[in-house]
Amino acid sequence: MHPVHIPDLDEIRKAYAFTRAASVETPLLEAPALAARSGAARVFVKPESLQRTGSFKFRGAYWRVSQLSPTEKQRGVVAYSSGNFAQGLAAAARIAGVSARIVMPDDAPQAKRKGAESHGAEVVLSHHGDRPREEVASALAREIAETEGRVLLHPFDDALIVAGQAGAGLEAIDQFERLALPSPDIAFCPVGGGGFIGGVSLAFHYLKPETKVIAVEPAGYDGMGQSLDNAAITRVASGKSTICDALQATAPGEAPFAAVRHANVGHTAIDDTAVKQAMKLAFETLKLVLEPSGAVAIAALLQAGDEVSGRTVLCYATGGNIAFEDFARLIAA
């Protein structure tokens, strides 16, 4: 097996220096109500839901597209995504003047599909039936790459994507320092395929190793957690439903997994009931509209118990791409 590249500190700093010119510096919000509910000393939320295109995905996509060669840019790109990477890549490709086709599962949220199209991407729907939707969508993306000569970009299993997402970690570390705040003892971070936590965990590993980063996944889709326990990539065979549509990868990518193991990340899993509670509390106490996948870190905080008692905690709220009707229905449930 070939060794998997893990971005070093210089690489993630270089990526952040480039991407911050086009991305939003998302705020660091203190959440006293969440501290009171969880027993933590202090809780901070970093709402990447307020990032360009409504999620952190723009950071990694923008860096990845910037690293295409002139010839590759002329060929255009193709990728698959359940929605948030689709929108991030669409926006990044438009800025770079690159044609983008994106395969999305036919049951992906319509709001995310329309979002990708509004940024100029052509969306192709995949029909997965009873098969894992990631498997079907990725196969169709590969077919398009082969027949059209487009560059195939992976939504998370790419060291350049990991490096780009690390900006959310570097930015948070800088904010804690600028505001003269104590570094977090724990950082809860959502996980689908692992690109985001791969980058964030490396930033903390290099600069704030005292912070324990915790991977948060939906119950039944804890591929990262099982992989960490087994010290090898493990694919979950989950047919379980979850409202966290963006976190249904059945296994982490090689590049994110290598980064996460290098950074000594912990893990936990949460259920849909906890996610709905987290969405409601984020709206009521922080005025944040989060999609289910974007609220799992807050859900993990609320069920952590003694693990967070008396400690300073950071929660990444990673996405807010949800239709009003769906948001209202879920928080009322």
Q: Which domains does the chain have, with CATH numbers?
A: 9-55+160-332 (3.40.50.1100), 57-157 (3.40.50.1100)
Task: Locate 44 and state its tokens.
Answer: 């901070």
Average pLDDT on 122-132 reads: 84
Percent of all residues in the chain with a pLDDT value above 90, rounded to a whole number: 86
Enter the pTM of the model. 0.95
Full strand arrangement of the beta sheet holding 122-126? 122-126, 100-105, 77-80, 151-152
User: Which residues make beta-bridge pairs with 293?
Assistant: none
State the Cα–Cα distance between residues 92 and 62, nearest whole angstrom: 5
Task: Locate 141 and state its tokens.
Answer: 């993306």
pLDDT (tens digit per residue) in 288-314: 999 999 999 999 999 999 999 999 999
Task: Locate 25 and state its tokens.
Answer: 């510096």
pLDDT at 30 over 60: yes
pLDDT (tens digit per residue) in 155-193: 999 999 999 999 999 999 999 999 999 999 999 999 999
Residue with tokens 């082969």: 146
Write out the DSSP string of 203-260: HHHHH-TTSEEEEEEETT--HHHHHHHHTS----------S-GGG--SS--HHHHHHH
Cβ-Cβ contacts under 8 Å for 270 (sequence gap 6 or more): 216, 217, 218, 219, 296, 299, 300, 303
pLDDT of residue 218: 96
Catalogue the long-range contacts made by 65-71 (C-beta closer than 8 Å, 24 or more residues apart). 65/89, 65/92, 65/93, 65/95, 65/96, 65/98, 65/153, 66/18, 66/92, 66/96, 67/160, 68/96, 68/98, 68/151
